[in-house]
Amino acid sequence: MINISNIHKTYITGNNKLHVLKGIDLKVEAGEMISVMGASGSGKSTLLNILGILDNHDHGEYLLSGIKIEHLNERKAAQLRNKYLGFVFQSFNLVSFKNAAENVALPLYYQNVKRKKRNLIAMEYLDRMGLKEWAHHLPNELSGGQKQRVAIARALIGKPKVILADEPTGALDSVTSQEVMDILTDINKNENITMLIVTHELDIARRTQKTIRITDGLITEIVKN
Amino acid sequence: MFDLDRWQEIYHVLRKNKLRTFLTAFGVFWGIFMLVIMMGSGDGLKNGVSQNFGDMATNSVFIWAQQTSVPYKGFTRGRQFYYENADVRALGEAIPEIKYLAPRTNVGGFNGASNVIRGLKSGGFQIFGDYPVFDSIDPVNLLQGRFINEIDIKEKRKVAVIGVRVKELLFEKNENPINQYIQVNGVYFNVVGMFKSKRTGEAASNDNQRIHMPFTTCQKTFNMGDAIGFFNITSKDGIPVAVVEEKAIRVLKKRHSVAPSDDAAIGHFNLEVEYKKMVGLFFGIKVLVWIVGIGTLFAGVIGVSNIMLVVVKERTKEIGIQRALGATPWIIISQIITESVVLTTFSGYFGLTLGVGLLELINYLLESSGAGTEMFLHPGINFSVAVIALAILVVAGAVAGLIPARKAVSVKPIDALRYE
């Protein structure tokens, strides 16, 4: 599903060059659930952003579901993100003035699905997250766990091939964290969606099939859980 | 394009900071409001001044006789001469550019001696002997009856067409003046028509104190021989009346033995020249109004652009989220441009409506009070100008949104997502 080789990324700020990724090779099969660990500044988030086509890499090759990701214009990148990828963020990133259902429906809005239809689908996904009664609440009326479940529903609604989660439990307490992980594991198992989870919590990483450790821009360890 | 989510977003953005939205909208509102008020006022001024011309053909010239100032062909200078009936045909034959040629005579008494009597009432009015063609050069509003006709001229009928003020002074309030007799310098005339001036103010009150009678009747009744008071001539359409004026003066000088170099002998007044000066003035005012108005509007639009930049900056993260979820740059750009267009169009439309409303109010007050109509009349703007102004607003709004919109998508999605 994901096939990257020799990925390099350097950030240039003024006169400073920061070589963040120094040649990453990684193969993720369809349906795999992988966690990425590493100290802050190790490059794990950068890797996730490149995989999410939110950022571009300097060297190397990236194949997403067989499509070569290289020199894409923003329009093409947006369409690929919409079609193949679902994002779950640490800070949820819900749109504040849209209610839960509208937030979930957002990816379908960008696919020009009619409002009525996409809201109906959104309700389905919210129902699966156990949030049907909260569909018409604004994000600031929801708890952290609820927000993350809305965000997961939003990531799922576009039927992505890969879900990229950047510290999905970073802002949640341990009980809620486990609930969110339950959901993610379920989705991985039942819908065969490939999943990459960046985390620094060991008990979160243990719930995935494989843990990749990144140190100073290189993969140093791959552990099967 | 018309998805509810788009409008929800616009509503949210505009509502988020109401004062800021209001102030921005006010800039555009004020621009278009001032444009409308200034254009309407310019128009009102123009209408007011134009009304002093009534429906008079502006391509007309007046020519009358004065005293000669150069000795010529054995005549000394200081000679008084008169135009004659034969001059009319001569002018018509010599100058093909003439459209209407109206010789006129007049009998004094205006603002002076009481020369018109009816029963116990009397008044001093200006009396003209006219041909029917005069009504084509300087038309009046006929309230009752008719104007002088050809049969009047041929039969030298003793008929008169009177102004409304004449009627007021000589008749009772509810009396019908038609077919009644008035005594002009001791001679009875039958009233066949009553008119009201198409001008306003003082010019109108002068007009309304006039009495028109057939040209031939006037010459004969008041012992004028075949003397003509003055000519009122218009040129054919598209020909400047100055051409006719120059030719007519040359013909008249020759016929009356006036030295070609004598500029004082023949008095003339070219209405077209005066009218053109006025038209030029109002054109200048119009250009000025557009420059100032568009400038003000432009300042308002720049304000919109500025605020949109701030809005885009504030919403960087949100736009980042939308892009991560698959919003293409075009979706983001069109969203921001729509916001900008909505803001300018709404506030502009409000300014337009309020401006037109104010003009209508002024119009209403002017008409109901009857004040100041001589210089200012029917202020207002054309519908087409309003449409053009709105079109300018929409385009300006789009342009105002373009720079912020481009800025919004120029940021990498990941940088936008990280923005706090």
DSSP codes joined into one string, B255-308: HTT--TT-SSSEEEEEHHHHHHHHHHHHHHHHHHHHHHHHHHHHHHHHHHHHHH
Cβ–Cβ contact B169 with A under 8 A: no
Asked if A75 lies within 8 A of B417 by C-beta distance, the reply is: no
ipTM at complex level: 0.90
Same domain, B48 and B150: no
Listed by number, the residues of chain B in 231-250 with a beta carbon closer than 8 Å to a beta carbon of chain A are none
Which two structure tokens, joined as six digits, stand for A1? 């599903």
pLDDT of residue B108: 67
- Measured between beta carbons, which residues in chain A are less than 8 angstroms from residue B311? none
CA trace torsion B36, B40, B41, B44 (10° rounding): 180
Residue B266 domain flag: no
Please, which residues bridge with residue A5 across strands?
A61
Residue B414 domain flag: yes
Same domain, B129 and B205: yes
Q: Domain tally for chain B?
A: 2
Residue B349 domain flag: yes
List, in order, residues 6 or more apart from B253 with CB less than 8 Å away. B259, B260, B262, B265, B266
Same domain, B171 and B295: no
Q: What is the pLDDT of residues A91-133, one digit of tens each?
A: 899 998 899 999 999 999 998 889 899 999 999 999 988 899 9
Asked if A74 lies within 8 A of B5 by C-beta distance, the reply is: no
Check: CB of residue A64 under 8 Å from CB of residue A83. Answer: no
Distance from CA of B306 to the nearest CA of A (A): 23
Check: CB of residue A23 under 8 Å from CB of residue A43. Answer: no
Out of B321, B328, B330, the one facing A93 most closely (by C-beta) is B321
- Measured between beta carbons, which residues in chain B are less than 8 angstroms from residue A102? 5, 8
Burial class (CB in 10 A: 0-12, 13-18, 19+), A171: middle
Residue B394 domain flag: yes
Asked if B326 lies within 8 A of A52 by C-beta distance, the reply is: no
pLDDT of residue A141: 93
Q: Which domains are present in chain A?
A: 32-55+78-224 (3.40.50.300)
pLDDT tens across the length of chain B (420 residues):
567 888 888 888 888 888 888 998 998 899 889 888 888 888 888 887 777 777 778 888 999 988 899 888 888 888 988 899 999 999 999 999 999 999 998 886 545 556 888 988 888 888 899 999 988 888 889 999 999 999 999 999 999 999 999 999 999 988 999 999 999 988 999 999 999 988 877 778 888 989 999 999 999 988 888 889 889 999 998 889 999 999 999 999 999 999 999 988 999 999 888 888 888 998 998 899 889 888 888 888 888 899 899 989 988 999 999 999 989 999 999 999 999 999 888 898 899 899 989 988 888 887 777 665 566 777 777 788 888 888 888 898 898 899 999 988 888 888 888 887
Residue B391 domain flag: yes
Check: CB of residue B416 under 8 Å from CB of residue B323. Answer: yes
- Measured between beta carbons, which residues in chain A are less than 8 angstroms from residue B414? 49, 54-55
Asked if A74 lies within 8 A of B409 by C-beta distance, the reply is: yes
Q: Range of B236's domain?
A: 82-255
pLDDT of residue B224: 86
Listed by number, the residues of chain B in 9-28 with a beta carbon closer than 8 Å to a beta carbon of chain A are 9, 12
Same domain, B104 and B248: yes
Out of A54, A96, A115, the one facing B324 most closely (by C-beta) is A54
pLDDT of residue B370: 64
- Measured between beta carbons, which residues in chain B are less than 8 angstroms from residue A94? 321
pLDDT of residue A195: 93
Check: CB of residue B230 under 8 Å from CB of residue B64. Answer: yes
| Triad A119, A123, A124: Cα angle to 5° | 120
| Number of cross-chain residue pairs from A and B with Cβ atoms under 8 Å apart | 70
Same domain, B99 and B218: yes
Same domain, B355 and B223: no
- Measured between beta carbons, which residues in chain A are less than 8 angstroms from residue B3? 109, 115
- Residue A49's nearest CA partner among A96, A89, A92 is A89
Cβ–Cβ contact A87 with B under 8 A: yes
Cβ–Cβ contact B410 with A under 8 A: no
CB atoms within 10 A of CB B295: 13
Cβ–Cβ contact A90 with B under 8 A: no
Residue B260 domain flag: no
- Measured between beta carbons, which residues in chain B are less than 8 angstroms from residue A99? none
- The Cα A218–Cα A2 span in angstroms is 17
Q: Any idea which residue has 């001044």 for tokens?
A: B49
Same domain, B243 and B350: no
In A, minimum Cα distance to B330 occurs at A75
Out of B8, B326, B417, the one facing A82 most closely (by C-beta) is B326
Listed by number, the residues of chain B in 311-340 with a beta carbon closer than 8 Å to a beta carbon of chain A are 317-318, 321-331
Out of B317, B331, B414, the one facing A55 most closely (by C-beta) is B414
Distance from CA of B26 to the nearest CA of A (A): 25
- Measured between beta carbons, which residues in chain A are less than 8 angstroms from residue B322? 95, 106, 110
Q: How many CA atoms lie within 13 A of B402 on its CB side?
A: 8
Same domain, B20 and B101: no
In B, minimum Cα distance to A93 occurs at B321
Same domain, B176 and B290: no
Residue B76 domain flag: no
- The Cα B255–Cα B252 span in angstroms is 5
Asked if A74 lies within 8 A of B329 by C-beta distance, the reply is: yes
Cβ–Cβ contact A96 with B under 8 A: yes
Cβ–Cβ contact A54 with B under 8 A: yes
Distance from CA of A150 to the nearest CA of B (A): 14
Check: CB of residue A162 under 8 Å from CB of residue A1. Answer: yes
CA trace torsion B210, B216, B221, B222 (10° rounding): 60
Domain boundary among B200, B222, B255: B255
pLDDT of residue B186: 87
Out of B3, B12, B325, the one facing A97 most closely (by C-beta) is B12
Same domain, B250 and B127: yes
pLDDT of residue B215: 93
Same domain, B96 and B47: no
Which two structure tokens, joined as six digits, stand for B140? 């009046």
- Measured between beta carbons, which residues in chain B are less than 8 angstroms from residue A79? 326, 328
Residue B290 domain flag: yes
- Measured between beta carbons, which residues in chain A are less than 8 angstroms from residue B12? 97
Asked if B322 lies within 8 A of A95 by C-beta distance, the reply is: yes
Asked if A54 lies within 8 A of B417 by C-beta distance, the reply is: yes
- Measured between beta carbons, which residues in chain B are less than 8 angstroms from residue A77? 413
- Measured between beta carbons, which residues in chain B are less than 8 angstroms from residue A138? none
pLDDT of residue B114: 61
Amino acid identity, residue B392?
A: I
* Residue % of chain A over a pLDDT of 90: 59
Cβ–Cβ contact B43 with A under 8 A: no
In B, minimum Cα distance to A79 occurs at B326
Determine which of B319, B325, B339 to mutate to test the interface with A (most A C-beta atoms within 10 Å). B325
Check whether A138 has a pLDDT greater than 70.
yes
Higher pLDDT: B191 or A171? It is B191
Distance from CA of B2 to the nearest CA of A (A): 11
In B, minimum Cα distance to A154 occurs at B325
pLDDT of residue B158: 94
Cβ–Cβ contact A78 with B under 8 A: yes
